[in-house]
Amino acid sequence: MKQTSEEQDKTSLHRHRLLEGMARAVAAKGYPDTTIADIVREAAVSRRTFYEHFSTKADCLIALYEAASRGALDVLRAAIDPVHDWEGQAEAALAAYFDCLSQNPALMRTLFVEILGLGADGLAARRRVNQELAAFMLEVVNGAARRRRRPVLSADLAMAVVGGINELVLQAIEEGRVGGLRELTGVSVGLLRAVTRGE
């Protein structure tokens, strides 16, 4: 039976509240100690509502990871100014991205670290997000490169840069340097510049 517009809005609202509840719970307790009871309490919905949207706690974490990643990608897109060359665009976008990640260190740690422990489903979610980031990088770099007839970035190298940036972020998390993520902007742009010049 097809949902009415009002029912769709209610469903969407409940899902959003559950993701926010998950974010608050894991920020407070960490993912391993977070229970479904914690999530529904933070979201102010019933356990039944949770199971209408997610089969497991892990499913909810994956949905939160993907939603947070889409939000970070929106920040990247908003920071792009086509007036600048691709290096200037990349620097502004990456600085905004790192600032976005730094806003909630506890949640970021959960998303970057715990997603790796969810097995095949977590890996698939991480792969989807990385592919979106690599596609965005290709769009920015290759768009500017074509206008200036410069070499373009390959899909494999774009993915390698995304992987390198992810490792830099993970290292910063492990070393307790989440507040200083913006400092990764220079080395990230440098990596992108190096692989582009090598094409």
- The one-letter code for the residue type at 33 is D
pLDDT over 50 at 199, yes or no? no
Average pLDDT of the chain is: 87
pTM of this prediction?
Answer: 0.83
- Residue listed under structure tokens 């926010």: 20
The two three-digit tokens of residue 76, written as one number: 């990247």
Question: What number of other Cβ atoms are within 10 A of residue 43's Cβ?
Answer: 23
pLDDT tens profile 82-93: 888 888 888 999
pLDDT tens profile 113-153: 888 888 999 999 999 999 999 999 888 888 765 665 665 78
pLDDT tens profile 125-134: 999 999 999 9
The structural domains of the chain, ordered by start, are 1-54 (1.10.10.60), 57-197 (1.10.357.10)
pLDDT tens profile 27-71: 888 889 999 999 999 999 999 999 999 999 999 999 999 998 888
175's CB contacts (< 8 A; 6+ apart) are: none
What percent of the chain is modeled with pLDDT above 70? 91
Q: Supply the pLDDT for residue 144.
A: 66
193's CB contacts (< 8 A; 6+ apart) are: 87
The two three-digit tokens of residue 66, written as one number: 């993907």
DSSP 8-state secondary structure symbol assigned to residue 116: G
